[in-house]
Structure 1
Amino acid sequence: MSLQTKKPYEALTTETVVQVVAPLNHFDDVNQLEIKEIGDGNLNYVFHLVEPATGKSLIVKQALPYAKVVGESWPLTLDRARIESEALIKAGEYVPALVPKVYHTDRQLACTVMEDLSDHLILRKGLIQGEVYPKLAEHIATFLAQTLFHTSDFFLHPFVKKEQVKAFINPELCKITEDLVFTDPFFNHDTNDFPEELKSSVERLWNDQTLKRETAKLKHAFLTRAEALLHGDLHTGSIFVTTDSTKVIDPEFAYYGPIGFDIGQFFANLALSYLSHFHHSKDQHKRQQFQAYLLNVIEDTWTHFTEQFSQLWHSKGQEAYMQVAGVEEDFFAQVLEDAIGFAGCEVIRRTIGLAHVADLDSIEDQALQLKLKEKALALGSTLVRERKQLTRISRFLETIRGVAHA
């Protein structure tokens, strides 16, 4: 349901957010709500509304017209709130159990009212704590296979696909990815953020012309290959989990791009978690077990993804060439190559770019943090440069292990 207001945009507060939810009749008495602003991201306000008497709750997420991490000097489109809402609704058509339910959107206020996931934990926090999620790989693989296949030319009529590409044009947030993932970390740019002790390694990266040439190819793919509707920012901070539930959130970067991108983002953040557990898991045996679990998640995600996508390929495929021998194998080979390359870019940018990960930055031992960031740069560079040779998921995992334990 989408109810439109006549009011112009204004930033919501804990007092005014009630006006958004009151018409929905979700709560028995909106005057009795407990409301907190809980957003810890860079781009939005997030309000948590609870009715103590009934236990009913909602989340209201509002886009800001600028990036919180920088301020009003970095303006951003409010249309990303529409894109996020529509991307969640689209995903909900195929994997309703794996995304929060959307109850209401308001384009004027650039906000979305959705299911409260307070009983879940952000995956990144759980992984830092060494928590194991038995269904994570299967759930993320299902999310990827179902959303990517059903929004691609393999399934959609060409006219419908191209209309969807238009609907999810997202130039401002794509520009953030183009700059912060594919460009700035590979040049001496003022958005980069790293300790002085890392500078010699960073300068070697900046001077590595082969690495930059390969990264240019990956950026070009991101710019031009409108293969399927991507989440666009599928890191471990965009996933809520319990032991038996997984919810993918925050698709405000959604747009039509290369199928391997979301997969690579997810893999990269698991690889960074792997490195971080040289600190977070003090006991060597437990560390080895948890690092093995992380690699199993990568492998199982890829296995489940290819199995499901292949099933959809053969049962729902609409493209004539899908029945030609070898086309499916070529497709998966390209997706894996892309995913590994995109993972490399993500590992590098999360190490020296504007937006880091708590996995590494929370390490109190500065010497160890520096050592692990050196390994992250080496891993990211290897993945970008050698992605064409890593033709099996097992070789990708071997590379992570090899660099981490070198």
Structure 2
Amino acid sequence: MSVQIKPTYEPLNEVTVLEVVKALDFFEEAALSHLHVKEIGDGNLNLVFHIEDQASKKALIVKQALPYAKVVGESWPLTLDRARIESEALLKEAESVPHLVPKVYYSDRTLAVTVMEDLSDHLILRKGFIDGHTYPALAEDIGTFTAKTAFYSSDFYLHPFEKKEQVKRFSNPELCKITEDLVFTDPFFNHDTNDYPAELQSEVDKIWNDTELLREVSKLRFSFLSKAEILLHGDLHTGSIFVKENSTKVIDPEFAFYGPAGFDIAHFIANLALNYLSQNAHAKEPFNRESIQLYLLQTIEKSWDTFTETFTQLWNEKSTDPYAHVDGVLENFLQKTFQQAIGFAGCEIIRRTIGLAHVADLDTIQQKDVELFYKKKALELGSKLIKNQRNITNITELTDWIRGA
């Protein structure tokens, strides 16, 4: 549908959001007068409404972008165009991995609204991990998601004209600037957005004064700024993935843009590494901890192996690149993607520890001294990955580094 429901933008509430829903013919007319509405957003950038016909249990989600960051307030304005980017990214992803993203029912650029499938029967992956759950389909699903969305949006598949048109369509400068600052800049300098306990100051000072580390981060930052290789989700952490026993759904691609091919899977790996560290405090029994940590390392390995296998199959069957069948071309691309992903993962680990947006994996550790211990471990691991990204040649070497953290 393309008809605008309202002529001007205004933030919705639990009453006015019904005007959006009633215009969609999603619910039976008899149910419209007794729909249950709840605002459930817990993020920093959006309103999220869950709307349900409690008689039939039929439900949907209405997500609306706010013109500012909730975490700061109106002093941090943001473009509403990110809602268009999110809905178009979900639709684009659905072309290659429809089973791994929520269905989009409707979007409205003026209202900055996306209406999508309700995933209440799923759980946020981060919470599931903290609670000690494992998901057998996760690794293959994320490997498939990252490989297919990468290949089908790349120059290896698209006509150059279409690829460049897609780059323009998904230009996302304001949200990319957030990533640039919060992932690649602020944590590596004395910036007022950083957030960490005073007890970590000596470890933070080591990062700020490590010239080799800063030199490597500057290269990663420049790659993020300049490489328009594939359409990225842009924020693929464990809070952007819904799961249940044998289902995975990747949500919230409002940071989507064309960038370096290793960026998405790097963020997934980094967040699993952070949970790996935190399991030393969260797991109830040693055997349970060892089992969960082994699963996390195996998930990292299998997700990368699935990425490479899937990407290779697509390359061999569907690549339009004139050099596609030259020995070593694909291998060179995958190796460079892998090694850069290690560096990106290191940046994500550090920023989630001392930057503006932390992870509950570490922050919910109840004993303060234990929390500090594993945050120090995280900073050490992140720094080592950044500085050794070109020395780690395969995925099992990477998981060995995580295991040894």
The normalised TM-score by structure 2 is 0.99
Other structure's SS at 1:323 match: coil
Q: Is the 8 A contact 2:238 2:271 kept in 1?
A: yes
Alignment of 1:24 with 2:24, yes or no, is: yes
Cα shift at 1:21: 1.2
Q: State how far apart, in whole Å, the 1-side matches of 2:33 and 2:60 are.
A: 15
Other structure's SS at 1:13 match: coil
Other structure's SS at 2:324 match: helix
The 5-angstrom pairing of residues 10-89 of structure 1 reads 10-28=10-28, 29-89=31-91
Alignment of 1:7 with 2:7, yes or no, is: yes
Q: Is the 8 A contact 1:3 1:104 kept in 2?
A: no
Q: State how far apart, in whole Å, the 2-side matches of 1:3 and 1:120 are.
A: 31
The 5-angstrom pairing of residues 307-346 of structure 1 reads 307-346=309-348
Q: State how far apart, in whole Å, the 2-side matches of 1:207 and 1:14 are.
A: 49
Q: State how far apart, in whole Å, the 1-side matches of 2:342 and 2:33 are.
A: 51
Q: CA RMSD in A?
A: 0.7
State the one-letter code of the partner of 1:293: Y
Cα shift at 1:327: 0.6
Q: Is the 8 A contact 1:3 1:105 kept in 2?
A: no
Other structure's SS at 2:404 match: helix
For residues 277-330 of structure 1, the C-alpha deviation after alignment (integer angstroms, 9 at most, x for no partner) is: 010013111111110100000000011110000000000000011111111110
Match of 1:354 in 2: 356
The 5-angstrom pairing of residues 1-400 of structure 1 reads 1-28=1-28, 29-400=31-402
Q: Is the 8 A contact 2:6 2:111 kept in 1?
A: no
Cα shift at 1:53: 1.6
Q: Is the 8 A contact 1:210 1:385 kept in 2?
A: yes
Cα shift at 1:100: 0.2
Cα shift at 1:46: 0.2
- Percent identity at matched positions? 64
Other structure's SS at 2:382 match: helix
For residues 31-78 of structure 1, the C-alpha deviation after alignment (integer angstroms, 9 at most, x for no partner) is: 210000000000000000001122110100000000000000000000
Other structure's SS at 1:294 match: helix
Cα shift at 1:6: 4.4
Q: Is the 8 A contact 1:97 1:247 kept in 2?
A: yes
Q: Is the 8 A contact 2:124 2:239 kept in 1?
A: yes
State the one-letter code of the partner of 2:338: L
Q: State how far apart, in whole Å, the 1-side matches of 2:174 and 2:330 are.
A: 33
For residues 81-111 of structure 1, the C-alpha deviation after alignment (integer angstroms, 9 at most, x for no partner) is: 0000000000011111100000000111101
For residues 239-290 of structure 1, the C-alpha deviation after alignment (integer angstroms, 9 at most, x for no partner) is: 0000100000000000000010001000000000000001001311111111
Q: State how far apart, in whole Å, the 2-side matches of 1:129 and 1:193 are.
A: 25
Q: State how far apart, in whole Å, the 2-side matches of 1:7 and 1:263 are.
A: 39
State the one-letter code of the partner of 1:281: A
Cα shift at 1:134: 0.3
Q: State how far apart, in whole Å, the 1-side matches of 2:7 and 2:33 are.
A: 21
Cα shift at 1:23: 1.4
Other structure's SS at 1:193 match: coil
Q: Is the 8 A contact 2:5 2:23 kept in 1?
A: no
Other structure's SS at 2:307 match: helix
Q: Is the 8 A contact 1:137 1:300 kept in 2?
A: yes
Q: State how far apart, in whole Å, the 1-side matches of 2:15 and 2:181 are.
A: 37
Q: State how far apart, in whole Å, the 1-side matches of 2:167 and 2:6 are.
A: 29
State the one-letter code of the partner of 1:327: V
Q: State how far apart, in whole Å, the 2-side matches of 1:171 and 1:297 are.
A: 32
State the one-letter code of the partner of 2:157: F
Q: Is the 8 A contact 2:270 2:346 kept in 1?
A: yes
Cα shift at 1:5: 3.2
For residues 205-229 of structure 1, the C-alpha deviation after alignment (integer angstroms, 9 at most, x for no partner) is: 1000110000000000000000000
State the one-letter code of the partner of 2:22: A
Structure 2 unaligned blocks of 5 or more: none
Structure 1 unaligned blocks of 5 or more: none
Cα shift at 1:4: 1.9
Other structure's SS at 2:338 match: helix
State the one-letter code of the partner of 1:294: L
| Runs of 4+ that moved beyond 4 A | none
Other structure's SS at 2:265 match: helix
Cα shift at 1:338: 1.1
- The number of residue pairs the alignment matches comes to 403
Cα shift at 1:2: 3.2
State the one-letter code of the partner of 1:397: T
Q: State how far apart, in whole Å, the 1-side matches of 2:2 and 2:191 are.
A: 42
